Amino acid sequence: MDHISVSQINLYLDCSLKYKFYYIDRIPKPFKPSGILFGKAIHSALEWLNKQRQIGNHVSLEKLFKIFETDWFAYKAEEKVLFKEGETEEKLILKGKELLSLYFHQQNEPVLMAELPFQIPLISQTGEVLEVPLYGVIDLIEKGDVITEFKTSQKTMDLFQVSNSLQLTAYSYAYEFLFQKRPKGLKIVNLVKSKNPKLEVIYTTREKKDYQRLFLLAKKVLEAIKARIFFPKPSFKCKECEYQEYCEKWGG
């Protein structure tokens, strides 16, 4: 491994066998759940919008909708999509537009940076340096040193989930490492594709102990991967898992 990301850590913790199938065996996924592609299309549209705002361009909501639809159809053309029961492409596109409209019209601070990549050393409080760098991309940095992570989900999030988000911890750590100052705010903008789509904004903070926890999790996950510790972890997520067939054939 030449780097580690929060996505890798979360996937290993979620199901180490799925991590193996994807990152080590590199087994092609036979399909993608609709929610994954929906989230990618929403994220791509928000990236485009905030990059336009960063350079001072005023764009229309209709143009944002076109970007979203273009990204959705591009992703769909590359992947076989697994829709949930009762779900249709038309309903998803409509929900996507409703959510983007909510974000477009809310009061937003000026954009300083959108989609800021980083690859930095992960250092513990004792000075130990992780053997590979931490890689990621900060979704958004707004005026006032406020970092935003975008999420799309089926339901609202609670403060416990936000407070324990490894992604926000990594963003905060990276910001402090890159700019030698702490972010003044961290928030998740959750675009909830419920029956009545809504937008929720939840603020949180991070401390040095959170950075240490991130370091220890990354270190232990790396050790487990090197020791080839992989096993299935049954949960409600198995129903939509792309590797369910391979998991059922797993022999230890």
Q: What is the mean pLDDT of residues 192-219?
A: 96
Inter-axis angle of helices 208-226 and 166-179, to 10 degrees?
Answer: 110
Q: Report how far residue 165's alpha carbon sits from residue 159's, in angstroms, rounded to the nearest whole number.
A: 10
Residue 3 has pLDDT above 90, yes or no: yes
pLDDT at 79: 85
**Tokens 């931490």, residue located:** 134
- 126-168: per-residue pLDDT in tens? 999 999 999 999 999 999 999 999 999 999 999 999 999 999 9
Cα–Cα distances in angstroms (integers) from residue 119 to residues 122, 136, 173, in the given order: 9, 7, 12
DSSP secondary structure letter of residue 124: -
Count other C-beta atoms under 10 Å from residue 183's C-beta.
21
Exposed / middle / buried, residue 68 (Cβ in 10 Å: 0-12, 13-18, 19+): buried
- 74-131: per-residue pLDDT in tens? 999 988 999 998 899 999 999 999 999 999 999 888 999 999 999 999 999 999 999 9
Residues 6+ apart with CB under 8 A from 10: 166, 167
- 47-74: per-residue pLDDT in tens? 999 999 999 999 999 999 999 999 999 9
**Tokens 């900060």, residue located:** 138
pLDDT at 220: 98
% of the chain residues with pLDDT over 90: 92
Look at residues 200, 216, 206 and name the one whose alpha carbon lies nearest to residue 153.
200
Identify the band that residue 252 occupies on the pLDDT scale cut at 50, 70 and 90. Answer: confident
Mean pLDDT of all residues belonging to the chain: 95
pLDDT at 162: 94
Radius of gyration over every alpha carbon of the chain, rounded to an integer in angstroms: 19
Q: Report how far residue 137's alpha carbon sits from residue 119's, in angstroms, rounded to the nearest whole number.
A: 9
Q: Report how far residue 32's alpha carbon sits from residue 240's, in angstroms, rounded to the nearest whole number.
A: 8
Q: Report how far residue 199's alpha carbon sits from residue 190's, in angstroms, rounded to the nearest whole number.
A: 6
Residue 15 has pLDDT above 90, yes or no: yes
210, 167 contact by CB (below 8 A): no
Q: Which domains does the chain have, with CATH numbers?
A: 4-248 (3.90.320.10)
CB < 8 Å & 24+ apart, contacts of 220-228: 221/4, 221/8, 221/9, 221/12, 221/13, 222/1, 222/4, 222/130, 222/131, 222/132, 224/12, 224/16, 225/1, 225/12, 225/19, 225/24
Enter the pTM of the model.
Answer: 0.93
